Amino acid sequence: MGAILNILSGHASGDSYGVIPHLDGAFDVIGVKTNAAAIYDRVHEAGMVLQDLIDDRHEWYLDRSVMDPVVIAWQPYDTGLLPQALRLSPLRGDELVVPTLDSRQSISWMMGHPRAVLLWSLTVRNLRRFGDVWPADAVRNLNSPEKNITFSDESKMVWWAQRLNLRVYGLP
């Protein structure tokens, strides 16, 4: 059974994980309580929980290519497209799925093969380095179309996955 790591801001939701609809009990839903402010730090903490989870379950076989996908979801939970994404399973070891690749849109979940999700989530916090500057100043000052691209914080995380040479698919 795959898992959904549900990032709970603060801790208030207690053991109530009913915020992830559309899944019909097909996944374990695991709360990740965190007070971290930045989405990157919250996803990183979810990655640490995911690592413990698959280690503890002894599901960690490097020589096992097909594994149930995992999802990291955060508030606000816009998970209506998740069932569509799940139909893409089984995924390859380097594949991730997000609701959209449109960098202007916010997203609230990332689904993928556990190996790909682990690599992404445990390294994404470096995006703090960019601060509010995105793209870099050098690009902003050029007379180039890139300077007009807008990015949501979440889409920066998609860029990071692509930067790692992972395959990221957006739903149509």
92 binds other proteins (CB under 8 A): yes
Measured from the CB atom, the residue of 30 and 122 that comes closer to other proteins is: 122
Query: What are 113's two structure tokens?
Result: 């093969």
51 binds other proteins (CB under 8 A): yes
Query: Hey, which residues between 107 and 146 contact other proteins (CB under 8 A)?
Result: 113-116, 118-119, 122-123, 125-126, 129
* The residue to which tokens 């689904």 are assigned: 111
Please tell me the total number of residues recorded for the chain in this structure: 172
Measured between alpha carbons, how far is 98 from 168 in angstroms, rounded to an integer? 7
Out of 65, 83, 133, 147, the residue judged to bind other proteins by CB under 8 A? 65
56 binds other proteins (CB under 8 A): no
Buried b (16+ CB within 10 A) or exposed e, 49-85: bbbebbeeeeeeeeeeeebbbbbbbbeeeebebbeeb
Strands (E), the chain: 3-9, 28-34, 70-73, 95-98, 109-112, 167-170
Measured from the CB atom, the residue of 81 and 124 that comes closer to other proteins is: 124
Beta carbon of residue 164, minimum distance to other proteins (angstroms, whole number): 6
**List of residues contacting other proteins (CB under 8 A):** 45, 48, 51, 60-63, 65-66, 92-95, 113-116, 118-119, 122-123, 125-126, 129, 163-166
